[in-house]
Structure 1
Amino acid sequence: MRRSLAGCMLLGYVASGWAAGADAPAEAEIPMLDRSRALVHDFTEGVARHVDSWFGDKPFEQGGKVSGQIGFKFLSRQQEKPDASFRFGARLDMPNVKEKTYLFFGQENERELLTDQPEPFTRHELLLPEDRKEDQTFFAGLGYALRDSIDFRAGLRSGIKPYAHARYRKDWRLGERNRLEFRETVFWNRKDGVGSTTSLNFGHGISRSLAFHWQLAGTISDETDGLAWSNSIGIFKNFGDLRSLSLEGLIGGTTAGSDNVSETGVRAIWKQPVYRDWTLVEVSLGHFWPQGDAKDDNERGWALGVGFKILF
Structure 2
Amino acid sequence: MLLGYLASGWAAEASSPAEAEFPILDRSRAMVHDFTEGVARHVDGWFGDKPFEQGGMVSGSIGFKFLGRQHESPDASFRFGAKLDMPNVKEKTYLFFGQENERELLTDQPEPFTRRELLLPEDRREDQTLFAGIGYALRDNIDFRAGLRSGIKPYAQARYRKGWVLGERNRVDFRETLFWNRKDGVGSTTLLSFGHGFSRSLAFRWSLAGTISDETDGLAWSNSMGIFKTFGDQRSLSLEALIGGTTAGSDNVSETGVRTIWRQPVYRDWTLVEVSLGHFWPQGDAKDENRRGWALGVGFEILF
Match of 1:190 among 182, 191, 206: 182
- Partners of 1:219 and 1:207 in 2: CA distance: 33
1:94 to 71, 86, 100: 86
Superposed displacement of residue 131, structure 1 = 0.4
- 1:182-223 deviation per Cα after TM superposition (whole angstroms, max 9, x unaligned): 100000000000000000111100111100000110000000
Indicate whether 1:267 and 2:259 are aligned: yes
CA RMSD of aligned residues (A): 1.0
Aligned to 2:54: 62
Instruction: Tell me by how many angstroms 1:147 deviates.
Output: 1.2
For 2:37, what is the secondary structure of its paired residue? helix
Mapped to 1, the partners of 2:238 and 2:21 lie a distance apart of 38
Distance 1:298 1:57 in 2: 62
* Cα deviation 1:110-146 (Å, max 9, x = unaligned): 0000000000000010000000110000000000011
Aligned mates of 1:29, 1:229 — CA distance in 2: 45
Q: Secondary structure at the match of 1:134?
A: helix
5 Å-filtered alignment, 1:168-179, equals: 168-179=160-171
C-alpha displacement of 1:30: 7.9
Looking at structure 2, the residues matched to 241 and 189 of structure 1 have their Cα atoms a distance apart, in angstroms, of 41
CA distance in 2, matches of 1:72, 1:112: 17
Which residue number corresponds to residue 48 of structure 1?
Answer: 40
Q: Which residue of the other structure, out of 208, 215, 218, is the alignment partner of 2:210?
A: 218
**For the structure 1 residues 29 and 50, does the alpha-carbon distance in structure 2 shift closer, same or farther, using more than 3 Å as the test?**
farther
Name 1:295's counterpart in structure 2. 287
Q: Distance in 1 between matches of 2:194 and 2:225?
A: 10
Q: Provide Cα deviations, 1:43-94, integer angstroms capped at 9, x if missing partner.
A: 0000000000000000000000000000000000011100000000000000
- Quote the residue 2:108 is aligned against: 116
Distance across 2 between alignment mates of 1:73 and 1:200:
27
- State the partner residue of 1:311: 303
Please give the alpha-carbon distance, in whole angstroms, between the structure 2 residues aligned to 1:287 and 1:244: 20
User: What one-letter code is carried by the residue in structure 2 that aligns with 1:282?
Assistant: E
Deviations 1:245-281 (A, max 9, x none): 0000000000000000000000000000000111000
**Percent identity at matched positions?**
88
User: Structure 2: which 5+ runs fail to align?
Assistant: 1-19
Q: Distance in 2 between matches of 1:257 and 1:228?
A: 10
Q: TM-score, normalization: structure 2? A: 0.93
Aligned residue for 1:79? 71
Is the alpha carbon distance of 1:121 and 1:29 closer, same or farther for their aligned partners in structure 2, counting shifts above 3 Å?
closer
Q: Which amino acid aligns with 1:74?
A: F
Q: Give 3-state SS (helix, strand or coil) of 1:274's partner.
A: strand
Query: Who is 1:139 aligned against?
Result: 131
- Number of residue equivalences: 285
Cα separation, partners in 2 of 1:30 and 1:87, compared to 1, 3 Å:
closer
Alignment partners' CA distance in 1, 2:291 and 2:28: 40
AA aligned to 2:264 is: Q
2:231 is the alignment partner of 1:209 = no
Q: Which amino acid aligns with 2:156?
A: A
AA partner of residue 301 (structure 1)? G
Match of 2:235 among 227, 231, 243: 243
Identify unmatched segments of 5+ residues in structure 1. Answer: 1-27
Which structure 1 residue ranges, 4+ long, deviate > 2 Å from structure 2?
A: none
Report the residue type matching 1:191 in the other structure.
Answer: K
TM-score, length basis structure 1: 0.90
1:29 CA displacement: 9.9
In structure 2, distance between residues paired with 1:106 and 1:292 = 36
